[in-house]
Amino acid sequence: MHSMLNIAIKAARRGANVVQQAFVKLDGISIEKKDNNSIVTEVDRAAEAAIMEVILDAYPTHTILAEESGYHANQEEDYQWVIDPLDGTTNFMHGHPHYAISIALAYKGQTQQAVVYNIQRNQLFTATRGNGAYLDDRRIHVSKRAHFDACLLSTSIPTFNKKTADLYLAILRDMVGLQISTRNEGSAALDLCHVAAGQTDGFFAFHLKPWDIAAGALIVEEAGGIVTDSYGENNSFKTGHIVAANPKLLDQLLRLMSKHIKIV
């Protein structure tokens, strides 16, 4: 295992300890609203601090982009860690067991290492570019389903933008008409990992941030899947729009969405 991946795993587990300790006292956790109507808690911030401490202790000159504390420029800007300390905060605050820590390391803009840790289920998804994707110690692969009538798709619907909500509803209306099963579970990082493990067949979302998708996207690719933006281009990190699926379903999913994406 790559030494930098080991550090990412260590950092994820350190952050998870913070989250798990807080889980027993959910009623006492303070909540703040962000500008985009999402929520942040003291747990998000404490977990992020714990993760960053591990990373900077090992690589003090590396740059960090973290959801809660933003951009931290250091000497080696070629190396950038992208951190979401608690992807699925709303789920966490409701005791719904679908939230994770997501950590990615990019070198010169290309993600090289990825960790997504499903805290409640103690599942560790990892990938190193060129070396495949893993769930714990087991190699994982995307599904081979080739038709919509047999597939399961997931998405991540935000609550902050009516125009974007209309886009989701239009796409989902078409999916219902085609009898496609869909899920909206509230953690893009885990949703991407489920595509990688063949537990779902595709995922799509709009207006996500780099920390939502950096780790999960590499895990999907290393599991044999394809990740694009909503136009089928390699611009997910720039636009925040992402489509991930097994190779047999990707084009079908993009075509289904194509008549609606002008709303974005």
In a domain? residue 264 = no
Specify the amino acid at residue 16: A
Matching residue, tokens 């893993």: 134
Asked if 133 and 159 sit in the same domain, the reply is: no
Among 239, 244, 193, which residue's Cα sits nearest to residue 87? 193
For the stretch 100-149, pLDDT in tens is 999 999 999 999 999 999 999 999 999 999 999 999 999 999 999 999 98
Q: Which residues contact 227 (CB under 8 A, 6 or more apart)?
A: 217, 220, 221, 236, 242, 243, 244
In contact, 85 and 37? CB cutoff 8 Å:
no
In a domain? residue 12 = yes
Range of the structural domain that residue 235 is part of: 148-257
Q: Is the pLDDT of residue 159 over 70?
A: no
Question: What is the pLDDT at residue 1?
Answer: 77
Q: For residues 84 and 47, what is the distance between their CA atoms, to the nearest angstrom?
A: 9
CA 12 to chain centre: 14
Asked if 15 and 73 sit in the same domain, the reply is: yes
Q: Which residues contact 95 (CB under 8 A, 6 or more apart)?
A: 23, 26
Asked if 130 and 186 sit in the same domain, the reply is: no
CATH at 102: 3.30.540.10
Whole-prediction pTM value?
0.94
What is the average per-residue pLDDT within 206-231? 96
For residue 6, CA distances in Å to 17, 56, 126, 130 come to 17, 14, 10, 16
Structural domains in the chain (count): 2
Q: Which helix (H) or strand (E) holds 31?
A: strand 31-33
For the stretch 178-198, pLDDT in tens is 999 999 999 999 999 999 999
CATH at 217: 3.40.190.80
Residue 37: half-sphere exposure toward Cβ, Cα within 13 Å: 6
Asked if 7 and 134 sit in the same domain, the reply is: yes
* Boundary of a domain, candidates 104, 139, 174: 139
